A and B are shown apart, each in its own frame.
Chain A
Amino acid sequence: MPYDSFNVLKSTVVPLPTENVDTDQIIPARFLKATEREGFGDNLFRDWRYDVEGNPKKDFVLNDQTYSGKILLAGKNFGSGSSREHAVWALYDYGFRCVVSSFFADIFKNNCLNIGVLPVTISPEFAEVLFHAIEENPQTEVEVNIDKQTITLLSTGQSESFEINTYKKENMKNGFDDIDYLLNIKDEIITFAEHKS
């Protein structure tokens, strides 16, 4: 599906240092009942964001107006558990275009790349630097550059490079997805299937 592509993203950051955030927290199963991809952002982090009566929990970062932005800075092992792509839909729908962490779960990372949320893996040390800088000044901006494969803390110029393969890089920059690619080589796939025992 088409998504907002970008090469350079400059934004303030929402910090969520909790570790091992699983996709059941990002979007609980009871909100997976839709048959269309709409409105998932409203239930992003539902049970951390709202109490049982639906009132916002003041201590959760998404309810703290100090923090906003298109970049989510997350604790290590973000997105573990269920393969539900709805978790990434919820992040995207809420407005995030990039998630930064020192460690991502595998399926979550794939899902991100497939729908246009850039997962940026940084060192635990640089994650600490970023968490600290944002705590000091919530207006701190971070720049993510896909072409150069860099993430930079603009207030100090501290920067780190991140991995992304050339294929996914072109996809992310241009808003392409894997199905476009696969449909283009359908004949080759059919030939492969016919020769496979």
Chain B
Amino acid sequence: MEKKTLFEKIWDAHVVRSVPNGPDVFFIDKHFIHEVTSPVAFLNLEKRGVGVLYPERTIATPDHNVPTVDQDKTIKDKLSRMQVERLRENCKKYNIELHDLGSAHHGIVHVIGPELGVTQPGMTIVCGDSHTSTHGAFGAIAFGIGTSEVEMVLATQCIMQSKAKKMRITVEGEVGKGVTSKDIILYIISKISAAGATGYFVEYAGSAITSLSMEARMTICNMSIEMGARGGLIAPDETTFNYLKGKQYAPKGDEWDKAVAYWKTLKTDEGAIFDKEYHFDASDIEPMITYGTNPGMGIKIKGNIPTTEGMEGSNKITYLKSLDYMGFSPGEPIKGKKVDYVFVGSCTNGRIEDIRSVANFVKGKKKADNITAWIVPGSREVEKMAHEEGLVKILEEAGFELRQPGCSACLAMNEDKIPSGKYAVSTSNRNFEGRQGPGARTMLASPITVAAVAVTGEITDPREVF
């Protein structure tokens, strides 16, 4: 029998037909939509006079463009308000399940999907957002699409794409103290580069991956896109099943047993061939931080910013432009650099485990005077748990400002912007120029590192503080 990878098993089961010398017609099990990338898709459906084929396969929530204060009041920003209202109208018109602002399961689309148990192994999942790769943590094929494709899924539940190439990244061993899954993925991206997995779908494997919780796995898969990969996935196991059991949309009773039996078959066959493989040793990984303007520009916190040695032409020009934007010089240490803001949140690290780890580290301490500290839960559910577990109290006593759920300062579409020229250490996923506000300088790191930075006010290796 043909030996297949996990990715191939799921992909092949969803091909409606293959266009000769063209893409596959690819069936989508679950579709998430939000207010920013869906309105034009709905508008075009109307222009074509076409409806939504399977409304029950789409779930909506406003997250990108929502304020993180006063969510019970009318949204002040007119354009944001219009986008959110348009989403409400469209969901009502086409009978699509909406988790609106203020409702029990409102939140970032990639946080609520798993929380509700909508995300399940073996599924194909898309959303007009590149961090849809998050859902791959459950052993699903999940990736971001453009608005034209959002329209395709609404109209036909399919998109047309060619199968990606297959890559496996294996991380074996145990990570040291103070090293989290965020450090693992920042390390991998720094080794492979921001474009190194373009054209591939990545499977993460090895003991350093399988020993992770679901939340930590989601952080890894979430950032697959930051090395150019279409998506990333991890074979489902007992950790996955335990997470899903009892969730609102998870199968129940006999259906559960049947589902688990099927999910257990979802793994790469022994001897299946990948187009590319990487192997890393977990003990080489230390707390990481980015110093430049793409997520591939990461170093260990104890390291120095790379020099331009060996660079030439546009490569060197681009590199120096990036450091100039950040206000850094080649060859200098990153540790000790002064910081103005810390941001804990986003679909990368806005889950309860992330908030627990920050609270655990800042308990009984105070943030430094020069730091503004924002903490934005990924969802209402996370917010609720943070209150119930007493984490909010700890964080507020440490000087953190707790805001309401949403994408917030990760992409600064709403008011949560880092001022021009200021430095932010952020648990989010992108350090692009202007990502957190025009002129903002972003450094990506783990929640623990962010907690350490909040307390010291400068770039700090968390292992040296706590």
A binds B: yes
B155 at the interface (CB under 8 A from A): yes
Q: How far is the CA of A103 from the CA of B194 in the complex (A)?
A: 12
**Which one, A33, A80, A85, A182, contacts B413 given CB within 8 A?**
A33
Q: Does B43 contact A36, Cβ atoms closer than 8 Å?
A: yes
Question: Interface code A48-86, partner B: CB below 8 Å = 1, 0 otherwise?
Answer: 000010000000000000000000000111001111111
Q: Which of B274-333 contact A (CB under 8 A)?
A: 293-294, 314-315, 317-318, 321
Chain B interface residue number, banded? 35 or more
**How far apart are A113's CB and chain B's nearest CB, in angstroms?**
9
A156 at the interface (CB under 8 A from B): no
User: B126: nearest residue on chain A (CB-CB)?
Assistant: A83
Q: How far is the CA of A110 from the CA of B199 in the complex (A)?
A: 11
Question: Interface code B25-67, partner A: CB below 8 Å = 1, 0 otherwise?
Answer: 1010000000011011001100110100110000000001100
Q: Does A182 contact B156, Cβ atoms closer than 8 Å?
A: yes
Q: Does A189 contact B157, Cβ atoms closer than 8 Å?
A: yes
B50, B146, B164 interface centre (most CB from chain A within 10 Å): B146
A148 at the interface (CB under 8 A from B): no
Q: Which residues of B contact A18 (CB under 8 A)?
A: 314, 317-318, 321
B151 at the interface (CB under 8 A from A): yes
**How far apart are B346's CB and chain A's nearest CB, in angstroms?**
13
Q: Which residues of B contact A179 (CB under 8 A)?
A: 48, 50, 148, 151-152, 155-156
Question: Interface code A162-197, partner B: CB below 8 Å = 1, 0 otherwise?
Answer: 000111100000000111011101101110110010
**How far apart are A50's CB and chain B's nearest CB, in angstroms?**
10
Q: How far is the CA of A193 from the CA of B303 in the complex (A)?
A: 52
Q: How far is the CA of A7 from the CA of B16 in the complex (A)?
A: 30
Q: Which residues of A contact B225 (CB under 8 A)?
A: 81, 107
A142 at the interface (CB under 8 A from B): no
Q: Does B79 contact A34, Cβ atoms closer than 8 Å?
A: yes
B121 at the interface (CB under 8 A from A): no
A110-B146, A179-B48, A179-B156 as given contacts; A33 in contact with B83, CB under 8 Å: yes
A95 at the interface (CB under 8 A from B): no
A11 at the interface (CB under 8 A from B): no
Q: Which residues of A contact B54 (CB under 8 A)?
A: 193
**Which one, A77, A167, A186, A192, contacts B228 given CB within 8 A?**
A77
Question: Interface code B69-107, partner A: CB below 8 Å = 1, 0 otherwise?
Answer: 000000001011011001000000000000000000000
Q: How many A-B residue pairs have CB under 8 A?
A: 198
User: B148: nearest residue on chain A (CB-CB)?
Assistant: A114
Q: Does A193 contact B27, Cβ atoms closer than 8 Å?
A: yes
Q: How far is the CA of A36 from the CA of B315 in the complex (A)?
A: 37
B430 at the interface (CB under 8 A from A): yes
A18-B321, A179-B152 as given contacts; A47 in contact with B37, CB under 8 Å: no
Q: Which residues of A contact B321 (CB under 8 A)?
A: 18
B23 at the interface (CB under 8 A from A): yes
Chain A interface residue number, banded? 35 or more
Q: Does B162 contact A19, Cβ atoms closer than 8 Å?
A: no
A149 at the interface (CB under 8 A from B): no
Q: Which residues of B contact A178 (CB under 8 A)?
A: 148-149, 152, 159-160
Q: Which residues of B contact A182 (CB under 8 A)?
A: 25, 152, 155-156, 158, 160
Q: Does B37 contact A85, Cβ atoms closer than 8 Å?
A: yes
A28-B438, A35-B43, A193-B54 as given contacts; A20 in contact with B195, CB under 8 Å: yes
Q: How far is the CA of A20 from the CA of B189 in the complex (A)?
A: 14
Question: Interface code B428-465, partner A: CB below 8 Å = 1, 0 otherwise?
Answer: 00101111001100000000000000000000000000
**Which one, A1, A167, A190, contacts B44 given CB within 8 A?**
A1
Q: How far is the CA of A196 from the CA of B412 in the complex (A)?
A: 40
Q: Does B130 contact A81, Cβ atoms closer than 8 Å?
A: yes
B144 at the interface (CB under 8 A from A): yes
B377 at the interface (CB under 8 A from A): no
A138 at the interface (CB under 8 A from B): no
Q: How far is the CA of A33 from the CA of B77 in the complex (A)?
A: 10
**How far apart are B265's CB and chain A's nearest CB, in angstroms?**
13
B411 at the interface (CB under 8 A from A): yes
Q: Which residues of A contact B199 (CB under 8 A)?
A: 106
Q: Which residues of A contact B164 (CB under 8 A)?
A: 106
Q: How far is the CA of A33 from the CA of B85 in the complex (A)?
A: 12
Q: Which residues of B contact A84 (CB under 8 A)?
A: 36-37, 146
B247 at the interface (CB under 8 A from A): no
B381 at the interface (CB under 8 A from A): no
Q: Does A183 contact B25, Cβ atoms closer than 8 Å?
A: no
Question: Interface code B140-151, partner A: CB below 8 Å = 1, 0 otherwise?
Answer: 000111111101
User: B85: nearest residue on chain A (CB-CB)?
Assistant: A35
Q: Which residues of B contact A80 (CB under 8 A)?
A: 194-195, 228, 294
B19 at the interface (CB under 8 A from A): yes
User: A19: nearest residue on chain B (CB-CB)?
Assistant: B318
Q: Does A189 contact B25, Cβ atoms closer than 8 Å?
A: yes
Q: How far is the CA of A166 from the CA of B22 in the complex (A)?
A: 6
A47-B438, A110-B146, A178-B160 as given contacts; A166 in contact with B16, CB under 8 Å: no
B230 at the interface (CB under 8 A from A): yes
Q: Which of A91-111 contact B (CB under 8 A)?
A: 103-107, 110-111
Q: Which A residues contact B (CB, under 8 angstroms)?
A: 1, 17-20, 22, 24-25, 28-30, 32-37, 47, 52, 75-77, 80-86, 88, 103-107, 110-111, 114-115, 165-168, 177-179, 181-183, 185-186, 188-190, 192-193, 196
Apart from A19-B314, A29-B413, A168-B23, list 7 A-B contacts with CB within 8 A.
A24-B411, A82-B129, A82-B430, A111-B148, A167-B21, A181-B160, A182-B155
18 examples of A-B residue contacts, CB within 8 angstroms: A19-B314, A20-B294, A25-B432, A29-B411, A33-B79, A33-B82, A33-B413, A34-B39, A36-B40, A81-B225, A82-B130, A82-B411, A83-B130, A166-B21, A168-B22, A179-B48, A188-B17, A193-B27
